[in-house]
Amino acid sequence: MSEPLIRLRNIDFSYNGRQPVLAGCDFSLQPGQRLALIGPNGSGKTTLLHLAVGLLRPNVGSIEAFGKVRRNEADFHEVRRRAGLLFQEADDQLFCPTVAEDVAFGPLNLGKHRDEVRRIVARVLHALGLEGYQQRITYKLSGGEKRLVTLATVLAMEPEVLLLDEPVSALDDEATGRLVEILAGLPQAMIVVSHDREFLQRTTGSTVRLHGGKVERIC
């Protein structure tokens, strides 16, 4: 078996010394794998994604990403360039006045030329059915529109791994179907957190569950 893209080893994590969310948790994502991560609210699904990209740090255990152990903030800068995290709440990910500015923010920070960034923005918005949204005011969008724009900000970075936290939240059936088609055509390995079992069946190939602070493989 090839080296995992992301691996968490023996992770303990709790918020401010409270009851542990993760306890002795082991987890890995293999190249090409499309993994559904399920579990009840509060089981640690979002926590696990945030640990993987260094937004949280474990109390105990180690995190490896792209073949290296990651310990400090500088280590995780590369991880966040290569692993695109879709936040559970759209408003946590959108902070620019317009849609185009939000989608362009990541590629510009990677040093891409503005002409190339404009092409990336146009291509990603087209793929998500958001043509003509470039100058729309972000905070005036509907919940479903914001969800698609946040996904556009992630895809614009052209990450090697996708970490998608409730990607169909606030989406109607048409938008969900479009997202299924988009994800089916992408080459990236991905972890998908969702309460929508039908969506997971259509987009992922295997399933693990968080229970009692540990990851259990289901299928």
* 218 band by pLDDT with thresholds 50, 70 and 90: confident
Q: Rounded mean pLDDT of 169-184?
A: 90
Q: Rounded mean pLDDT of 127-133?
A: 93
Q: Indicate the fold that domain 6-217 takes in CATH.
A: Rossmann fold (3.40.50)
Angle 107-111-113 (CA atoms, 0-180°, nearest 5)?
A: 80
3-state secondary structure of 127: helix
Q: Is the pLDDT of residue 219 over 80?
A: no
Instruction: Report the alpha-carbon distance of residue 110 to residue 115 in Å, rounded.
Output: 14
Q: What is the distance between the terminal CA atoms of the chain, rounded to a whole angstrom?
A: 18
Angle between helices 143-155 and 114-127 (to 10 degrees): 130
Quick: pLDDT tens for 104-120.
999 999 999 999 999 99
For residue 84, give the H/E element and its range.
Answer: strand 83-86
pLDDT at 178: 87
Average pLDDT across the chain, whole number: 95
> So where are the chain's domains?
6-217
Give yes or no for a contact between 141 and 85, defined as CB atoms under 8 angstroms apart: no
* Dihedral (CA of 176, 182, 185, 188) sign: negative
Q: Is the pLDDT of residue 1 over 80?
A: no
For 196, counting Cβ atoms within 10 Å of its Cβ (0-12 exposed, 13-18 middle, 19+ buried), the class is: middle
Number of H helices, E strands in the chain: 7, 10
- Which residues make Cβ contacts (< 8 Å) with residue 126, sequence separation at least 6? none
Q: Is the pLDDT of residue 31 over 80?
A: yes
Residue tagged 């791994």 (tokens): 161
Give yes or no for a contact between 196 and 146, defined as CB atoms under 8 angstroms apart: no
What's at 27, amino acid-wise? F
Note the pTM of the prediction, 2 decimals.
0.94
